[in-house]
Structure 1
Amino acid sequence: MKIGFIGLGLMGRPMAAHLIDAGHELFVNRVKPVSEFLVEKGATACDTPKAVAEAAEIIITIVPDTPDVDAVLFGENGVADGLSEGKMVIDMSSISPVETKAFAEKIAAKGCGYLDAPVSGGEVGAKNAALTIMVGGSDADFARGKPLFEVMGKTITHVGPVGDGQTAKVANQIIVGLTIQAVAEGLLFAKKAGADPAKVREALMGGFAGSTIMKVHGERMIERTFDPGFRIRLHRKDMALAVNAARDIGLALPNAAATEQLMNAAIARGDGDKDHSALIRTLEALAGL
């Protein structure tokens, strides 16, 4: 198919590359030196999101935040200006479920389909085409988009109507954020108490405390390898989505709120662009280490 792909960041670049490798014709926007290899692989560079939408049947976006999706879709020379009836937009960003529904209504008014399909799995999952993809939208639109999802991900779930994919992603980010904080606190406790945190982690991996986060992020905390798979700054954005949405529906999420504040502190300390496993650095600072 002719696919538009907007958002050639840490996640987007390998996702776009998989689509090219699968034989799809890609049209991309804002090509920088780090993403020039996609053009060398056969992608066509377009000057504007509008031009991408004019050339493609399905337009995929994966950008940092809700205002970024709004700008790409509905800003000057945005995707919406280049749409014609029968095309489809797939937003794979992690953004507000409420705004997602509003965006979908505007796209539907042009006679086009819309799926919200945020992802989990980080840069490693994107590179290995092993992402978890949570999809909101109609059955027909999901069936149309599924072959593309299968190129980029491993676990693909049609959660429900538009907005439900984003709701699932917010839930995912709550659980991941709180678990990273729990692993960091556990390993910090071990260190402060005089035990070897690497040995403690090894012991815990065999019990109920064992998890993917204990395995992957726990190792990063011990090895001090904080190059971003997923930046604290972006995870804080997702935690803010959770806390704000909870307030709107009258729900208390005390631990999500506390983790958001810890991430705020990490950003204030200059760690915003480090991997979210670097939250342990802020906890260490609180402990005087």
Structure 2
Amino acid sequence: MTETIGFIGLGIMGRPMALNLINAGYRLAVHARREASMQPLLEAGAEPCSSPAEVARRSAILFTMVSDTPDVEQVILGEQGVIEGVQAGAVVVDMSTISPSATRAMAERLRTVGAEMLDAPVSGGDIGAAAGRLSIMVGGPEVAFERVRPLFEVMGQNIVHVGDHGAGQVCKACNQVLVAQTIAGVGEAMLLAKASGVDPAKVREALLGGFANSRVLEVHGRRMLEDDYAPGFKAALHQKDMRIVLEAAHELNLALPGAAQAAQWLNALVGQGLGDLDSAAIYKIQAQFSLETAVDRSTTDTNP
């Protein structure tokens, strides 16, 4: 554990992930756009860096965890980016959720300066990050994956090497397709129960014991019943992820109509200024849409 590990991006996900590495005995060099985000890491013993390039100069393995594709491109390839300081033989591990094709392009650029890249997006939210129980989906060379595996095991429990560069991002896109559509499905089920005069809490209780059971029904179904949308995963970030899904589908000339519909619910949620709520708040938009549709139908039926 003598080598320094780099960590760039210390937001709601990156901060607890980095703290877990420190608590496991690793020495960290860190950087964030906002100095305040670094403070908990500095108090825990991390070394501050003024730029991604400085982090790269100090570390043989470094992690990035930022919001979107352009942010990762800026951190890795931009001015004072990782590529300007990265050591030959280093491994750059991007744990953000971004475009698979952009990931492959960045991996090629890093390879020209002697560094390897892994794409390792995660699922599990801030609760999973804090508990070190993330699911980590990894793309990139097997040798680099094995080198980084002990660090992954500090941050997560379900760690799968999916394939070559970009495969981790494709896997995360598949995850978001399933989650978004399942949230929408649970929302529709709760609406149907309520509109039918049946207690949706009892319906959920019954469904949890059958084939319809899922983690989404368990966690987000409860959120819907309690109208509790404190973010575990913000709708604005889920919207971004679904944009990546649909962009990838466009590149492949692939039809994903269910994913497109779920993306529209998220678009409507964010469009109403509710992007900081958990993406389970899709239910709020579904309920609003259903109510407006019922009012429109009632108005039409009573007009001569």
TM-score bracket for this pair, using the shorter chain length: over 0.9
Aligned to 1:7: 9
Shift of residue 35, structure 1, vs aligned partner: 4.3
Structure 2 contact 13–126 (Cα < 8 Å) conserved: yes
Partner of 1:128 in structure 2?
A: 131
Structure 2 counterparts to residues 210-225 of structure 1, below 5 A: 210-225=213-228
CA distance in 1, matches of 2:127, 2:4: 26
Residue 100 of structure 2 corresponds to 97
**Aligned-pair identity (%):** 49
Distance 1:108 1:183 in 2: 44
- Determine the structure 2 residue equivalent to 1:17: 19
Q: Please give the alpha-carbon distance, in whole angstroms, between the structure 2 residues aligned to 1:75 and 1:148.
A: 26
Quote the residue 1:149 is aligned against: 152
Of the three residues 199, 203, 209, the one matched with 1:200 is 203
Which letter maps to 2:24? A
Superposed counterparts of 1:17-166, under 5 Å: 17-30=19-32, 32-166=35-169
Specify the alignment match of 2:170 in structure 1: 167
1:247 paired with 2:250, answer: yes
Corresponding residue SS for 1:84: coil
Secondary structure of 1:115 counterpart: strand
SS at match of 1:156: strand
Over aligned residue pairs, what C-alpha RMSD do you find? Answer: 1.1
Structure 1 residue 22: Cα displacement: 0.7
Residue 177 (structure 1) aligns with? 180
Q: Deviations over 1:180-220 (max 9, x none)?
A: 11011111211122222111111110111111110011111
**1:284 and 2:280 equivalent?**
no
Shift of residue 163 of structure 1? 0.6
The amino acid that maps onto 2:174 is A
Larger Cα Rg: Structure 1 or Structure 2? 2
Q: CA deviation at 1:224?
A: 1.6
Between the aligned partners of 1:10 and 1:117, the Cα distance in structure 2 is 17
In the alignment, the residues of structure 1 paired with residue 140 and residue 6 of structure 2 have an alpha-carbon distance, to the nearest angstrom, of 19
Q: What's the offset of the Cα at 1:34?
A: 4.9
Matched length = 289
Secondary structure, counterpart of 1:189 in structure 2 = helix
| 1:36-85 Cα deviation digits (max 9, x unpaired) | 12111101111111111111111100111000000001111111111121
| CA positional deviation for 1:226 | 0.8
Match of 1:265 among 250, 268, 275: 268
Say whether the 8 Å CA contact 2:140–2:164 is kept in structure 1. Answer: yes
Does the 8 Å contact 2:30/2:38 carry over to 1?
no
Could you give the per-residue CA deviations for residues 231-258 of structure 1, whole angstroms, max 9, x where no partner exists?
A: 1111111111111211221211001011
CA change 1:32–1:222 in 2 (3 A) is farther
Structure 2 unaligned regions, length at least 5? 293-304
User: Which amino acid counterpart does residue 155 of structure 2 have in structure 1?
Assistant: M
Whichever residue aligns with residue 113 of structure 2, its letter is K
Which piece of structure 1 moves more, 219-228 or 149-158? 219-228
